[in-house]
Amino acid sequence: MAKSKGVIIQSVARAMDILEYFNKIKEMGISEISECMGLSKSTVFGLVNTLVNYGYLEQDSENKKYKLGIKLFELGCTVEKRLDLRNEARPFCEKISKAYGQTVHLATHYEGEVVYIDKFDMPDFPISYSQVGKRAPMSCTGVGKAMLAYLPWEYVQRFIVSKGFPLKTEKSIKTVEELKECLFEIRRNGYAIDDEEILIGLRCVAAPIFNHKNEPIAAISLSGMVNKMTDDVIKEMAKDIIDCTRAISNSLGCKKDN
Amino acid sequence: MAKSKGVIIQSVARAMDILEYFNKIKEMGISEISECMGLSKSTVFGLVNTLVNYGYLEQDSENKKYKLGIKLFELGCTVEKRLDLRNEARPFCEKISKAYGQTVHLATHYEGEVVYIDKFDMPDFPISYSQVGKRAPMSCTGVGKAMLAYLPWEYVQRFIVSKGFPLKTEKSIKTVEELKECLFEIRRNGYAIDDEEILIGLRCVAAPIFNHKNEPIAAISLSGMVNKMTDDVIKEMAKDIIDCTRAISNSLGCKKDN
DNA sequence: AAACAAGTTCGGCAATAACGAACTATTAAG
DNA sequence: CTTAATAGTTCGTTATTGCCGAACTTGTTT
């Protein structure tokens, strides 16, 4: 399932494949899992039973089906606290979201994917594709491209180019040349634009956040419907976003202005 | 490590023991883990390497140490969304917290322990023992006792009595008789009081939340310093908390008024 | 009441995880 | 600058342990 590097303990890998499955399908029984994963019922039962014992899965007493357990919430909270970036960024994101009345995303990257770690939605125009904790392709999002532009080319090569470009819409980046050109422009401007590349009708402006080692560890974006996001508006937004990301970067110990 | 029920897959159990460890000590190396768990370095390496491959652990590129990975944040967020209780309760908690200017906790229970799922802190008087995602003993907390009072006695027996009573302060419940007496009174009053039973100087009032099956699945508490929490104040607070928990219980499909 | 479906248990075989030792890499000390 | 020490990683062997198929149990449907 996952790209194996070095020693992989089969049963542990299978257990985590099962958890992964539950991240998509929230409730499943033993038979269902064993069918999906091509394992015998008894094997799955052993794994699931172990996961239940540790609180990673819970069994519904009514329909006997299993679901993700509260232990994952517990561990997830621990990780969340480590993301102190989130706390640093929160007031800035809130402010900018209110200022423009648009949705703001805060995201980090992990192995070539965007992971949303915070979101300030507009009640009247909620964006459903992004949810805190969820992933999205880097090449189709403003936040993703903003980070890619400042990541070493080996990273881009390894996690983006070699995997092929996911086509979310017909405007999504399709080739390496396109990507290179786009990243070059982002570095020149200091901000990234997503012009209906993940969802038709949606445009975003994003800028990267740097840590003390000057690595782009996150990004912030403002998203809105195409008709409201004219070139002039975007330019204005970009200024404010860059002010924000610079301030956050500084608070994380970043010295330079990228 | 954990109480084994049925088939337990050793390597999976060990992998989860490792994750558990990281929930306490945030950064560890291979040698450190292998020492703590009494396993050979190579065994630990295999497990850790598998966990890294799946994003459950991450290795710091500088000091080579490992820490909990972002995948846990991802799965934790999925679990969090399932806790729709949290969303239902949030406006009520916020309101009551503001009304009294005191800290409000929302907690559920799992295997005889309280798990905090939301918290509204007072900036000028933050309570540090409770953090979202963390656990606490049921017998020492208002929220815990409020739920225990309405849980079947087998539950109390199995998870509380048989485990012994944790003594957080000298006022913590020490005996079964004390507990029985206390739970009886909670049922009579409809609310629970924690009088410096988890932390000296802290008093709480709590009431349980019921689901559609009339099971006490959560509780809300108001906490404050002893001098502010006089008997009269507590009685007044109790009324408001019960109003809240009744409303939340109803929104979860609970018909009865307990 | 019987047939079915889903969860759970059992026993035997062989794959696999565990271990110790050897090998790097990095850091501390002499 | 050399050596020692510490921590991370790899390898090969062995028997432990996890895997499977089949049987058993429980509950539901026709």
Check: CB of residue A172 under 8 Å from CB of residue A164: no
**A7 at the B interface (CB within 8 A)?**
yes
**What's the CA B35/C1' D6 distance, rounded, in angstroms?**
14
> Which chain B residues are closer than 8 Å to A3 by Cβ?
53
Which of the pair, A64 or A112, is modelled with greater confidence?
A: A112
Give A74-107 pLDDT, tens digit per residue.
Answer: 899 888 877 778 888 888 898 898 888 889 999 9
Whole-model pTM: value is 0.76
Q: Is the pLDDT of residue A24 over 90?
A: no
Judged by CB atoms closer than 8 Å, whether chains meet at B68 and A54 is answered as no
How much is the pLDDT for B192? 96
Phi, psi of A220 (to 5 degrees): -120, 140
B80–A69: do the CB atoms touch at under 8 Å?
A: no
Whether the CB of B49 is less than 7 Å away from nucleic strand C comes out as no
Residues 84-143 of chain B within 7 A of strand C, judged by CB, are none
CB contact under 8 A, A54 and B16: yes
- Nearest chain B alpha carbon to A1: B54
pLDDT bin (cut points 50, 70, 90) of residue A255 is: low
For nucleotide C20, give the residue with the nearest CA to its C1'.
B40
Q: What is the pLDDT of residues A116-166, one digit of tens each?
A: 999 988 766 777 788 888 999 999 999 999 999 999 898 899 899 999 999
B9 CB closer than 7 A to any strand C atom: no
Q: What's the gap in Å between the CA of B81 and the closest CA on chain A?
A: 10
Cβ pair B12:A108 closer than 8 A: no
pLDDT of residue B8: 86
| Amino acid making up residue A206 | A
Nucleotide D24 C1' to residue B158 CA (A): 29
- Strand C bases contacted by the protein (CB, 7 Å): 5-11, 16-22
Task: For chain B, 258 residues long, give each residue's pLDDT as a single digit of tens.
Answer: 444 567 789 899 999 999 998 988 888 889 888 888 888 888 999 999 999 989 899 887 777 889 898 899 889 988 887 777 888 898 889 889 888 888 999 999 988 999 999 998 876 677 778 888 899 999 999 999 999 999 989 889 989 999 999 999 999 999 999 999 999 999 999 999 999 999 998 999 999 999 877 889 999 999 998 988 999 999 999 999 999 999 888 877 676 666
Q: What is the predicted pLDDT for the residue at B114?
A: 94
User: Distance (Å) from CA B34 to C1' D18?
Assistant: 22
**pLDDT value at residue A82:** 79
Q: Does any strand C atom come closer than 7 Å to the Cβ of A29?
A: yes
**Which bases of chain D come closer than 7 Å to a protein CB?**
6-12, 17-23
- A171 part of contact set with chain B, CB < 8 Å: no
- Which residues neighbour B93 within 8 Å (Cβ) at sequence distance 6 or greater? B104, B106, B118, B120, B220, B244
pLDDT digits (tens, 9 = 90+) for A113-124: 999 999 988 766
Of B20, B74, B110, the CB nearest to A133: B74
pLDDT in tens, A2-18: 445 677 898 999 999 99
Q: Does A128 touch chain B (CB under 8 A)?
A: no
Contacts of B188 (CB under 8 A, 6+ apart): none
Distance CA B71, CA B84 (A): 21
Taking an 8 Å cut-off on Cβ atoms, the answer to whether B133 and A68 are in contact is no
pLDDT of residue A123: 67
Percent of chain A with pLDDT over 70: 95
CA distance A224 to chain B (A): 25
Strands lying side by side in the sheet with B192-195:
B135-137, B113-120, B103-110, B216-225, B202-210, B192-195
Residues 6+ apart with CB under 8 A from A31: A41
Cα gap B99→B110, rounded to integer Å: 30
Asked if B137 contacts B144 with a C-beta cutoff of 8 angstroms, the reply is yes
Residue A69 has pLDDT above 50, yes or no: yes
Q: Which residue has the higher pLDDT, A37 or B6?
A: A37
Of B2, B19, B46, the CB nearest to A53: B2
The beta-carbon contacts of A8-12 under 8 Å, at least 24 apart in sequence, are A8/B46, A8/B49, A8/B50, A8/B53, A9/B11, A9/B15, A9/B46, A9/B47, A9/B50, A11/A47, A11/B9, A11/B11, A11/B12, A12/B11, A12/B12, A12/B15, A12/B47, A12/B50, A12/B51
Q: Which amino acid is at B76?
A: G
Nearest nt to the CA of A9 via C1' is: C17
Q: How far is B189 from chain A (nearest CA, A)?
A: 30
- Residue B41 contacts strand C, CB under 7 A: yes
Which nucleotide is closest to B10, CA to C1'? D17
According to DSSP, the residues that pair with B220 across neighbouring strands are B106, B207
What pLDDT, on the 0 to 100 scale, is given for residue B207?
96
Under DSSP, the state recorded for A160 is I
- Report the pLDDT averaged over residues A55-73: 86
